[in-house]
Amino acid sequence: MLSLAAFFAIIGTIGWGLSNASAKRMVERFGPVRAIVFRNFIAVSILAVASLAVGIPDTFTVRMLAFGIALSFIGYFPFIFFLKGLEKGKVGVVYPISAGWVILAALIGILFLGDTLTMLKAASLALIIIGVLVSAVHFTELKKSDLFSMKSGVPYALVSAILWGVVFAFFIYPAEALGGVFFALMVEGVVFITAFLHLIVKRERLIQGVEEKRLLKKSIPFVFVSGIGAGFGTMFINFGYATGEIAIVSAIAGAQIVVAGVFAHFIYGERLSKQQYIGILLVLIGIVCAAII
């Protein structure tokens, strides 16, 4: 029988994977901060409508609202560091290191937040993590990169992994108290506002000139896919964390890299290597095992 946590995590992972893969085109054209503004405008719009329809649960408290806002604000920074790492370094180096948040979130859940794992679930988690790393790591790029320099993107990836690991591990509390839909609106809303303020601090206009207007029109399909994926992805990942299965949900969420890779293969024409196919297979086996035990 498919576990509820795994079901929610799988849907959320597909959403996040599509969102991040679509955001790649926007980052290339508009930079990371403006890409977040475009993406989150769509995400917030969808989640606002969903929140009005679903409402706020009776477990809502002002204290948990403040905690959720703080987590959401902190969550903006690993996203920016991750995109900055991709801008500076190579995907095959930055992606697998940033994916380390999965391991940290799982450990925090098990050691400090009362999450429990059976041997079979632990094996499934390990299989998913190994699959993610196999599909993401480009060993030739690792050899060529100066891992201790800023230009490699590795320092940015490390910071994003640490911050994401801590932030996502504690999603369980506001997700339970505020509801998956409303907390998703809060997360994406705070990220949207923070990115907009970031632009103001940088004194950067959202759209610069006629050429960028033309590029934005061409990018509309990617903006919508990224925004819709982010909205539904965050919402269902919240549902998953609210079940208390922090480690399994985090591990499955890490498979967004695989989803993004498949999307890039079909939409951007990027070829998948044999190593990536092996990684994808390991992830799928791990997810299936985690979902039925």
Mean pLDDT of the chain: 87
Residue 268 has pLDDT above 90, yes or no: no
Residue 111 CA from chain centroid, whole number: 23
Over residues 262-291, the mean pLDDT reads 82
CA distance 92 to 136: 6
CB 242 within 8 A of CB 176: yes
Give residue 237's pLDDT band: very low, low, confident or very high (50, 70, 90): very high
More confident residue, 75 or 270: 75
Q: Which residues contact 111 (CB under 8 A, 6 or more apart)?
A: none
Q: Please count the other Cβ atoms lying within 10 Å of the Cβ belonging to residue 130.
A: 14
Concatenate the DSSP letters of all residues of 228-254 into one string: HHHHHHHHHHHHHHHTT-HHHHHHHHT
Q: Could you tell me which of 34, 30, 29, 81 has the C-alpha nearest to residue 195?
A: 34
What angle, 0 to 180 degrees and rounded to 10, lies between the N-to-C axes of helices 62-88 and 154-169?
Answer: 160
DSSP H or E run through 99: none
- Asked if residues 124 and 248 have their Cβ atoms less than 8 Å apart, the reply is yes
What are 81-128's pLDDT values in tens digits? 887 887 776 665 677 778 788 888 888 998 888 888 778 888 888 888
pLDDT of amino acid 74: 95
